[in-house]
Amino acid sequence: LFEPPASVYEKFLRTGNISYFYRMDAFDTFVVAAYFTILAILSFYGLHRYMMVFLYRKNHKKAAEPKSRFEELPRVTIQLPAYNEMYVMERIIDAVCSFDYPSDRMDIQVLDDSTDETQRIARNAVERWRSLGLDIHYIHRDDRTGFKAGALENGMRTAKGEFIAVFDADFVPEPDFLQKSIHYFTDPKVGMVQGRWEHLNREYSFLTKTQAIFLDGHFMLESNTRYLSGRFFNFNGTAGILRRKAIEEAGGWEHDTLTEDLDLSYRAQMKGWKFVFLPNLTVPAELPVEINSFKTQQCRWAKGAMQTCKKSLFKVLKGSFGPGEKLEAWYHLTGNITYPLMVLLSLLLFPALVVRYNQGWFELLTIDLPLFILSFSSVTTFYITSQKALHKDWLKRIAYLPGLMAVGIGMTIPGSKAVLEGALGWKTPFVRTPKFSVEGNKGEWLSKKYRCDINALTLVEIAFGVYFTFVTLYAWRLGIYGVIPFLMLFQCGYLYTGLWALAQSLKRSGWWDSLVRLHTSMRPGWRTTNYD
């Protein structure tokens, strides 16, 4: 359409590079500007992971020690909030009733909002232990106002202890949990002591292995590093003990967010209370084995964090706290905005790839690819450090890092919805994560109650996976092989979270059995057992 200068035409003939003819229009400029803006913001949050690794390596040799030891052990109230947890309810009651702690210094509250058979199971377990002389009470609410926060608030009215230990129904604390943690409260400034989650079913599936790495990173390189470096960190809602006075001075349990634990943590620390994290105080718990349950859990945490951000972040920024505390609070409470940013980046990758390729493969490989590598390498550095800190066989475990990154990408669509709901103030109920008493690498759960249904976003995830399949093939056709591994992370992540959610829902609904029977009836001789 135009007559190129002779010198440009000669370069094209010599190299075959069409970029000598390319001129960006308004749309191309918008795509490139948006693309690099999002990459810059993501790199800013990626820098936080490097900061956490640096602070961990700087402080990891420090060890928390109790100021002294109680001559007479204080009274502790143990609260067990639950809602429809029939498969794990008896297990947690038996675990806390077996604590190696004076029975006259301990009372137990089973805070049950259940509407199903869990009520009978819990009542029977409580009566059995009461008959053995334990101070244990079953407290049931028909009105679930405030959900978990409401149940904890209701239990506080009759709690006898100076300290409140909280355990979710799927946790199995060791008998010496209280003995190992209570003496840290000899420091009158300590308002909370948090244990580290371990995992009963880490080896159960690909999903549980990746979740375990996610949580290992959170506890060792976020909670632990924040504590060691003097930043705010949060009570995780379970496997911890709170000083009753700290709860009351912070304003008590409030239920205007879905993360009542994070909310209370910031309010208490802004009042001057000190929180302690004990990485060697481990409490095993059950990881979600159903991907829809995992999505529900992550979305609840993402939405609740955004709600807490709106409620507390500017109070921290305006408070008389140090620059490090304020910066970490910003990262902590706003970090989930990376979910919608990753979705926007996903949509922009294909047009940006085309524009950048038209500008020249040299720019694509020397600018775009290094930015991607820097963004993704922060993830690998972060999780490799956490696995090295916790496990001798860390080399074996980090083989799952590509899968972890893919699952993280796949979670961006439901995570974005949750973040937007939190930012816009859309109210949704507290949806708990169902557990099925699955331990080790064995256990059956498909036939059990409690399911988290799929929704329309599952189809969006699958559509994104198909889209990235096309983008990957297009990059292959253009010969831009360096970007293909990154594109495949997006492709595999979206397809995994979408298709696996659909497959598990089919299994749970009975359609899977019907499809298998239909398939095997058309192929005589095929076995119908062990198809799972």
Q: Please give the positions annotated as active site.
A: 113, 261
3-state secondary structure of 516: helix
Residue 200 CA from chain centroid, whole number: 17
Reading the block at residue 404, the tokens are 């972890």
Q: Note every long-range contact of 158-162, with CB atoms under 8 Å and residues 24 or more positions apart, other chains counting.
A: 158/109, 159/77, 159/79, 159/107, 159/109, 159/244, 160/75, 160/77, 160/107, 160/135, 161/74, 161/75, 161/76, 161/77, 161/106, 161/107, 161/244, 162/74, 162/75, 162/76, 162/243, 162/244, 162/245
Who's near 323: CB < 8 A, 6+ residues apart? Answer: none
3-state secondary structure of 470: helix
113 within 8 A of 151, measured Cβ to Cβ = yes
241 within 8 A of 165, measured Cβ to Cβ = yes
Strand segments (E) across 84-236: 106-112, 136-140, 163-166, 190-199
22 within 8 A of 358, measured Cβ to Cβ = yes
DSSP structure string for 488-509: HHHHHHHHHHHHHHHHHHHHHH
